[in-house]
Amino acid sequence: MPTHLILGGARSGKSRHAEQLAAASGLAVHVIVTAEALDDEMAARIARHQADRPAGWAVHEAPRNLATTLAAVAAPDRCVVVDCLTLWLANLLDGAETLAPGADAGALPAFARERAALLALIPQLPGPVIFVANEVGLGLVPESPLGRLFRDEAGRVNQAVAALCGRVSFVAAGLPLQLKG
């Protein structure tokens, strides 16, 4: 099973699809989660995802240091699910509101370092990894500069990860469409 990027909108079924693929792999499953429960609504979302996962799956939290965690967890005898790249990106954009107008997130040292580390790691992964990410570029243009920066960087990260993955799927209404591989 090659590396796989699963894209989709909110509530599209992308996480469920990733979990089904991981379960079908026959390997031990490790999930790397990037969300942080910073408010009650996000805590409820996290609890819903936890309840949906099989109890025997190992879970690792990596809201910012994804490449380091992924390097430690990935192995030939494991299937790793990274859920999700979009929340990881949002966590790394902390401080982006201070950027000059028109600047990209590469000006944020933590973002630039973590993005580069992840992209360098993907071709070296020793076992199957399934990345989950939101496709945020299909909707309205965000009203704020920070919103537009987030949308643009999410698109750039998704393109870079897709180029490195052997498989890419798009999920809509719970139905996966294979884009690559």
pLDDT digits (tens, 9 = 90+) for 66-119: 999 999 999 999 999 999 999 999 999 987 877 777 777 878 888 999 999 999
pLDDT at 3: 97
Whether 49 is a known active-site residue: answer yes
pLDDT at 165: 98
Q: How many residues does the chain have?
A: 181
Annotated ligand binding at 56? The verdict is no
Annotated ligand binding at 113? The verdict is no
Annotated ligand binding at 25? The verdict is no
**Mode of pairing for the β-strands spanning 167-172 and 4-8:** parallel
pLDDT at 107: 80
Whether omega before 84 lies within 30 degrees of 0, making that bond cis, reads yes
Q: Which of 146, 153, 152, 181 is nearest to 167 (CA)?
A: 181
Annotated ligand binding at 156? The verdict is no
Annotated ligand binding at 180? The verdict is no
pLDDT at 45: 84
173 touches 13 (CB < 8 A)? yes
pLDDT at 2: 84
pLDDT at 154: 95
What distance in Å separates the CA atoms of residue 130 and residue 82, rounded to the nearest whole number?
6
Residue spans of the chain under pLDDT 70: none
Radius of gyration of the chain (CA): 16
Sheet hosting strand 129-134, strand order edge to edge: 58-61, 28-33, 78-83, 129-134, 4-8, 167-172, 175-180
pLDDT at 136: 93
Annotated ligand binding at 117? The verdict is no
What residues does each domain of the chain span? Answer: 4-180
Catalytic residue among 4, 30, 49, 60: 49
Q: Which of 106, 62, 105, 102 is nearest to 85 (CA)?
A: 62
Q: Which residues, listed in sequence order, are joined to residue 8 by a DSSP beta bridge?
A: 134, 171
3 touches 166 (CB < 8 A)? yes
- Rounded to two decimals, the pTM is 0.94
Q: Classify domain 4-180 at the CATH class level.
A: alpha beta
